[in-house]
Amino acid sequence: MLHILWTILKVILSGIGIVLLVILGIILIALLLVLFCPVRYRVHAEKQKEEAVSTARAEGRVSWLFGGIAVSFRFSRSSRQTDIRLFGIPLQKILGFFRKKKGTSVKTAKSGGKKKDPVGNSPETDQNSSGPASSGLTDKPSVNEHASSADEDKRSVHTEKRSVHAKKSSVHAEKPSVPVNRPSGNAVQKKSKGLKYKIRTKAAAFRKAVRKAMRTRDFLFHPKTQAALRLVLEKARGLIRHAMPVYISGQMEFGLDDPSLTGRILAFLGATVPFHKNRVEIIPHFECENVIGGHVDLRGRIYGIVAAAAAVRILLDKNVHFVIRSRKHKEAA
C-alpha cells in the first residue's frame, strides 16, 4: 500500500503531474469565476420634459470579471454606440493588432517564397535568342491556301445540314397518325375510383391528425407533465426575481390634456411601488398640459450559481425525465 502511494506521489511530483495540476487548477478557477463572479449591469435613461419624446436617450454598461470584460452602450434616436473592452482595451484595437500581425506574416511568407532566376538563364532571353532561328526554319502558309480551306469547310457544313433536314422530314412522314381518344365507360370508372381513393386518403389523414391531437392533449394534461411545467415556471420566476434590479432611483413628471386620464395613469403607476420600493418620485400635472419627462437609474447583478442550481434541479426531477422520455418516444415513433 505504501509503495502504491509513493508511486502516485512520484507521478504527481513529476513534470506531467505538475502540468496536469496546473490545467486542473485553471479549470477550477474558471468554474468558480463563472459560478460566483456576478454579471453586473447598470442602465440610465433620461428625457427632459421641455424636449420632444424623440430626444430621449439611454446608456448602460454590462460587466463581468470585476469589470475586466465590459460592454457599454448608448442609444438615442440619432445615434447608437456600442463599446466592448477586455481589461480596458477596446476589442477593435485587439482585433486590428491581430489582423496587422497576420498580414505581416503573410507578406513575409510571400517574399520568402519568391526565387530570383540566375543571370543569363531568363525565359525572355531564351525566347529572344530562339525566336529568329525558329522563324527562319518554318515557312508561313500563304493567304490563298487559307481562303480555299475556309471555302471547303463551309461547303461541308452546308451539305451536312441538308442531309439532317432530309432525315427529319422522312421521320415525320413515316410517323403514323395517332387516333383521338374518346371518353368511355372505363375512363369514368377510373375517375370515380381515383376520387374514392382521394377521399379515403383525406379521411385517413384527418383521423391521424385527430389521434395525434388527442395524444398531445393527454400528454400535456398528464399529472407528471403538469408537475414538470410547474417546476420549470417556478424556477423561471426565481431567475427573473434574481435578475431584477437591486437598486432603482429616479423621478418622473407627466401630464395630459384630460385630468381624468392623468389620474388613471397615476393609479397604474402607484401599483409599481412594490417594484421600485417608492424610490422613483412621480409628479403628476393636472393643469391640462402634455408633459412627460424624467430620469431613472437601474443597477443589478446575476450570479451564475443561481442559474446552475435551477438547471440542476430541473434536470434531476423525475417528472422532467418522464417528459423527456415521452418526447424521445414520440420522435422515434
SS3 for 146? helix
Residue 305, domain member (yes or no): yes
Q: Give the count of alpha carbons within 13 A of 253, CB side only.
A: 13
| Cα–Cα distance, 60 to 52 (Å, whole number) | 22
| Cα–Cα distance, 313 to 320 (Å, whole number) | 10
pLDDT at position 141:
45
Residue 68, domain member (yes or no): yes
DSSP state letter for 316:
T
SS3 for 110? helix
pLDDT at position 233:
95
- The domain boundary residue, chosen from 88, 103, 118: 103
Largest CA distance in the chain: 110
| Averaged pLDDT in 10-residue chunks for the chain of 333 residues | 72 72 91 94 89 85 93 89 91 88 76 52 45 42 49 61 58 47 63 83 92 90 93 95 92 87 88 84 83 91 95 93 84 62
Identity of the amino acid at 305: I
- The domain boundary residue, chosen from 81, 103, 125: 103
Which strands form 247-255's sheet, in the order they lie side by side? 89-90, 80-86, 69-76, 57-64, 39-47, 291-302, 247-255, 280-285
| Cα–Cα distance, 4 to 10 (Å, whole number) | 10
Residue 301, domain member (yes or no): yes
Residue 113, domain member (yes or no): no
Residue 319, domain member (yes or no): yes
Cell numbers that stand for 34 in this block: 463563472
* Residue 64 · residue 37 · CB < 8 Å: yes
Domain that holds residue 240: 219-332
For residue 231, what are the contacts with CB-CB under 8 A and spacing of at least 6? 313, 314, 317, 319, 320
Residue 115, domain member (yes or no): no
Ramachandran angles phi, psi of 86, nearest 5°? -115, 105
- The domain boundary residue, chosen from 55, 81, 103: 103
What residue has cell string 451539305?
A: 159
| Cα–Cα distance, 29 to 22 (Å, whole number) | 10
Instruction: Give the chain's domain count.
Output: 2
Name which of 174, 302, 293 is nearest 246 in CA terms.
Answer: 302
Residue 86, domain member (yes or no): yes
Q: What's the pTM value of the predicted model, to 2 decimals?
A: 0.62
SS3 for 140? coil
* Residue 231 · residue 320 · CB < 8 Å: yes
DSSP track, 269-297: HHTTHHHHTT-EEEEEE-SS--EEEEEEE
| Cα–Cα distance, 142 to 80 (Å, whole number) | 75
**C-alpha 173: how far from its chain's center?**
64
Residue 66, domain member (yes or no): yes
